[in-house]
């Protein structure tokens, strides 16, 4: 199915039908096997369900994925939890985690399974750079401003700090980014998915429509999910990403509409960065939505008295940015902004 999805022109037209026929036979076989008590507590059942999960990933049928994950959760519970059910099989755990986070990300819901910390630290991955590189000064300032504007424990500020750290690590690896970080799904899983889990746990924390702090927090949460989605799906034109971000784009717009630019105070660069995250996800096939993000960016640029599109670019790239991942979509956006904000010399922000 992976070959069928990625190279549709290289296969016969009826290959998908054959694939579905084999899948149906597999389902019948597994259902028959369930009559055997020993199979119900075996690794074979876990492997079978994971196989179905991967199949529906390739079909991009996320509703079916939710159903299979619920069934897998029941099987895992009946087998004494994740440790006993997977019996230390790291490959199966990785497959489960990556699929689980894909589904949770798509539906903007907490993952079904926690990240299994008893296994993940033992998996070989390219090490994160040491010593830790300097984080974005603007991101540091934003986390400090967040704590100042919203006193008390701030999960969002903590997440912003973690995002800045991971982004800084990626920038150190930029020379070897194709060879090391993006060598497979393992490293994104261990570097990025813990933050994705954290963000997905923060969903639905709004208590009333007028909760400005809550809407600012929600805007950052969804924009950060889009940012991490691009990093997880490092191929910026991967068609799976379009399906996965379908729910996040309108949610981001809604949260931005519930606040005014003045509500953000010192956090205004985060708002501009969030608009850019939305613009990148709507640059193709979501033209109407893209226009809204584009117009909001221009409105912010006008209120900030930016005299060039490069002032917008500088703010966004000084926040959280990995050029190698974002440039394909971003170049289109910079070009569109330049039509209204051509280079006219230094701006007030500079």
Q: What is the rounded average pLDDT of the residues 312-332?
A: 91
- How would residue 25 be classed by pLDDT, with cut points 50, 70 and 90? confident
State yes or no: pLDDT of 250 exceeds 80: yes
- Report which of residues 34 and 341 the model is more confident about: 341
Of 42-51, 220-229, 275-284, 335-344, the least confident = 42-51
Residue 311 CB-density burial (10 A; 0-12 exposed, 13-18 middle, 19+ buried): buried
State the average pLDDT over residues 6-24.
65
- In angstroms, the CA 271 to CA 95 distance is 35
**Of residues 281, 310, 307, the one with CA closest to residue 293:** 281
Higher per-residue pLDDT: 45 or 129: 45
Residue 182 — pLDDT band, cuts 50, 70, 90?
A: low
pLDDT single digits (tens) 218-249: 999 999 999 999 888 765 556 667 778 888 99
Confidence of residue 196 (pLDDT cuts 50, 70, 90): very high
Ranges 3-17, 39-53, 151-165, 190-204: which has the least confidence: 3-17
Q: Which residue has the higher pLDDT, 260 or 60?
A: 260
Give the per-residue pLDDT at 31.
78
Looking at per-residue confidence, does 207 or 144 come out higher?
Answer: 144
Tell me the average pLDDT of the chain. 82
Residue-range domain boundaries for the chain:
2-104, 137-340
pLDDT confidence of residue 11: 56
Q: Is the pLDDT of residue 174 over 60?
A: no
* Range name among 199-203, 236-240, 253-257 with the lowest pLDDT average: 236-240
- Across 151-180, average pLDDT: 78
For residues 252 and 120, give the distance between their C-alpha atoms in angstroms, rounded to a whole number: 31
Higher-pLDDT residue of 120 and 291 is 291
Average pLDDT over residues 137-146: 94
pLDDT at 347: 47
pLDDT(148) > 80: yes
As given in the structure block, the two tokens for residue 22 are 């084999």
SS3 per residue for 30-99: HHHHCCCHHHHCCHHHHHHHHHHHHHHHHHCCHHHHHHHHHHHHHHHHHCCCHHHHHCCCHHHHHHHHHH
Query: Quick check: 268 pLDDT over 50?
Result: yes
Q: What is the pLDDT of residues 47-106, one digit of tens each?
A: 888 888 877 877 778 888 888 898 889 888 888 888 788 877 877 888 888 888 888 998
* pTM as predicted: 0.83
Q: Where are the beta strands (DSSP E) in the chain?
A: none
pLDDT band at 190 (very low <50, low <70, confident <90, very high): confident
Calpha distance 236→323 (Å, rounded): 11
What mean pLDDT is predicted for residues 2-15?
57
Whole-number pLDDT of residue 62: 82
Contact 227, 188 (CB under 8 A): no
């Amino acid at each position: 199915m992976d070959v069928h999805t990625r190279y549709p022109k290289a296969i016969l037209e009826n290959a998908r039908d054959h694939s579905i026929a084999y899948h149906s036979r597999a389902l019948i076989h597994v259902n028959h096997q369930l009559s055997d008590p020993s199979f119900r507590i075996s690794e074979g059942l876990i492997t079978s369900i994971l196989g179905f999960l991967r199949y529906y990933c390739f079909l991009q049928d996320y509703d079916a994925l939710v159903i299979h994950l619920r069934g897998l959760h029941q099987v895992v519970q009946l087998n004494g939890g994740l440790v006993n059910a997977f019996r230390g099989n790291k490959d199966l755990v990785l497959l489960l985690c990556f699929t689980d986070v894909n589904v949770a990300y798509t539906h903007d819901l907490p993952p079904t399974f926690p990240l299994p910390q008893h296994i993940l630290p033992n998996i070989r991955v390219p090490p994160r750079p040491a010593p830790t590189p300097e984080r974005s000064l603007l991101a540091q300032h934003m986390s400090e401003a967040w704590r100042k504007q919203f006193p008390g424990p701030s999960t969002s500020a903590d997440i912003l700090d973690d995002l800045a750290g991971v982004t800084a690590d990626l920038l150190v690896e930029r020379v070897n980014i194709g060879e090391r970080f993006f060598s497979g799904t393992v490293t994104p899983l261990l570097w990025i998915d813990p933050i994705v889990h954290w963000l997905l746990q923060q969903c639905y924390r709004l208590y009333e429509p007028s909760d400005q702090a809550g809407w600012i927090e929600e805007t950052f949460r969804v924009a950060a999910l889009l940012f991490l989605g691009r990093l997880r799906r490092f191929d910026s034109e991967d068609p799976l990403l379009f399906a996965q971000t379908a729910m996040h784009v309108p949610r981001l717009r809604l949260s931005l509409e519930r606040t005014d630019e003045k509500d953000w105070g010192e956090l205004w660069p985060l708002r501009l960065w969030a608009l850019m995250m939305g613009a990148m996800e709507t640059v193709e096939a979501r033209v109407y939505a893209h226009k809204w993000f584009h117009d909001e960016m221009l409105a912010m640029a006008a209120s900030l008295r930016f005299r060039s599109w490069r002032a917008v670019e500088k703010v966004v790239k000084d926040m959280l940015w990995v050029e190698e991942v974002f440039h394909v979509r971003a170049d289109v956006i910079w070009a569109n902004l330049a039509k209204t904000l051509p280079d006219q010399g230094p701006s007030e922000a500079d």
